[in-house]
Amino acid sequence: MAIEIRGMSKTADELLVLNDIDLTFQEKKIYGLLGQNDSGKTTLMRLIAHLRFPSEGYIEIDGIDIEDDQDVLKQVYFLTHDHIYPKRARLKHIVKWMGMFYPNFQTEECLLLLEKYHLNEKAIFSKLPLKKKTLFQSCLAFSNDVDYLLLDEPVFGLDAYHRHALYQDMLASYDRYPKTIILSTHGIDEIEELIERVVILEDGQVLINDEVKSLIKRAYSVKGPEKEVREFLQKKEILGQEYRRGIIKAYVQLEADDIIDDKHLEIKSLNLQELFIQLTRDVYGERGDK
């Protein structure tokens, strides 16, 4: 069981949004889908959910082309911030509709989550403030026992307490019914411990597709006087550099044998967010302008 994407491109308004994507999202794994704004993350999710259609290529879910048999989409739930509910729809109506369309929607679990976050089921969704809209949409997603859960900024606009609480609800949902979760967010530091694999998009193409632990294991910063740092960096894979008053801080990929004990050098492991910044920093032309 998996989501298979092969040779997929998407053009919108004569702009190439996704370019020749080949990806496999394996069963019962939690993925981080990362990228700068306009990198194609949301478009990719909409294509998987069959809300958009590829210009080239195809998507298979559990070996079934979604163009040929759309019943397989009942095993996919997409948390989107698009306006998809009727203007006068109350929360209780939306919960009821979810139970009608998704056979494994856990209505009682959803009602408990609404109570937890003080959401009145009689409230009209369109009149809710942004915070409560986000909470409600995440409650729906985490009550749905589908095989594939697509989450586009599930904690958008929330404070730190509620972001943490919702991520715990996400893990509880996974424990109750193990599923493939594809999580897109700009809060990378908050999800590093939650995800198993990371897919990074840049300019509509796959830049990275790797296990988080494997990726982080090789990522370091090296800081020290210019002469010593430049000597150390010879024949190393450099991701980026910062220079200030004779001190260089370089971001590199190293193997275990490359780590040395040198009083002039400060070598530290990078976290996922720091690595992401270095991998995608040339999106603004920083390297190209030098």
Dump pLDDT digits (tens) for 159-189: 999 999 999 999 999 999 999 999 999 999 9
Last residue of a domain, one of 163, 182, 214: 214
Does some domain include residue 290?
no
Q: Are residues 259 and 164 in the same domain?
A: no
Mean pLDDT computed over every residue of the chain: 92
Last residue of a domain, one of 177, 196, 214: 214
Burial of 16 (0-12, 13-18, 19+ CB in 10 A): middle
Distance CA(182)–CA(44), nearest Å, equals: 11
Q: Are residues 145 and 277 in the same domain?
A: no
In angstroms, the Cα distances linking 121 to 99, 105, 126, 169 are 15, 17, 13, 19
Q: Are residues 99 and 167 in the same domain?
A: yes
Q: How many Å from the N-terminal Cα to the C-terminal Cα in the chain?
A: 46
- In this prediction, residue 71 carries a pLDDT of 87
- In this prediction, residue 289 carries a pLDDT of 42
Q: Label residue 287 by pLDDT band (50, 70, 90).
A: very low
Q: Are residues 97 and 210 in the same domain?
A: yes
In the predicted structure, residue 283 carries a pLDDT above the cut 80: no
In the predicted structure, residue 45 carries a pLDDT above the cut 90: yes
CATH number for position 141: 3.40.50.300
Q: Are residues 150 and 267 in the same domain?
A: no
Does some domain include residue 289?
no
Q: Are residues 133 and 208 in the same domain?
A: yes
CATH number for position 228: 3.30.70
Cross-strand partners of 21: 8
> Residue 290: CB partners within 8 Å, gap ≥ 6?
none
Last residue of a domain, one of 214, 230, 249: 214
Q: Are residues 135 and 247 in the same domain?
A: no
Q: What is the pTM (predicted TM-score) of this model?
A: 0.91
Give the range of the structural domain holding residue 255, as residue numbers without chain letter: 218-284
Q: Are residues 22 and 164 in the same domain?
A: yes
- In this prediction, residue 197 carries a pLDDT of 97
Q: Are residues 72 and 189 in the same domain?
A: yes
Does some domain include residue 94?
yes
* Of 8, 37, 5, nearest in space to 201 by CA: 37
Q: Are residues 101 and 160 in the same domain?
A: yes
Q: Of 115-124, 204-213, 258-267, 281-290, which range is least confident?
A: 281-290
Task: Tally the domains of the chain.
Answer: 2
